[in-house]
Amino acid sequence: MGSARRWTPKRLTAKLIKIRTGLDLSQTEMVSALGLKGKIKREDISKFERGLREPPLPVLLRYARLAGVPMEVLVDDKLDLPR
């Protein structure tokens, strides 16, 4: 096992931002919309959106469900979010 950083999709951060802004939510409101109040903070959303931290898989699943898209759309750089 190496200690190299795990591969992260290049477009993930942009997609997370697009979902939040498309829903017209602040980062704080996004925490609540994801149903994660008390589990993550606004600062976590900020780190996800800036690529400083990768969202855990269950958080990505919540983003996908909130956006109404398969999780594959979030992690596959070849796929775009619907408008």
pTM over 0.85: yes
- What is the distance in angstroms between the CA of the first residue and the CA of the last residue of the chain? 40
Fold assignment, 12-75: 434 Repressor (Amino-terminal Domain) (1.10.260)
User: What is the reported pLDDT for 4?
Assistant: 63
Residues ≥6 apart with Cβ < 8 Å to 26: 42
Query: pLDDT 10s digit of each residue in the chain, 83 long?
Result: 556 667 889 999 999 999 999 999 999 999 999 999 999 999 999 999 999 999 999 999 999 999 999 999 999 999 999 98
Give the pLDDT score at 8. Answer: 84
Eight-state DSSP code of residue 28: H
**In the chain, what are the domain boundaries?**
12-75
Give the per-residue pLDDT at 52: 95
Q: How far is 65 from 83, CA to CA, in rounded Å?
A: 15
For residue 54, give both structure tokens: 């990768």
pLDDT confidence of residue 5: 67
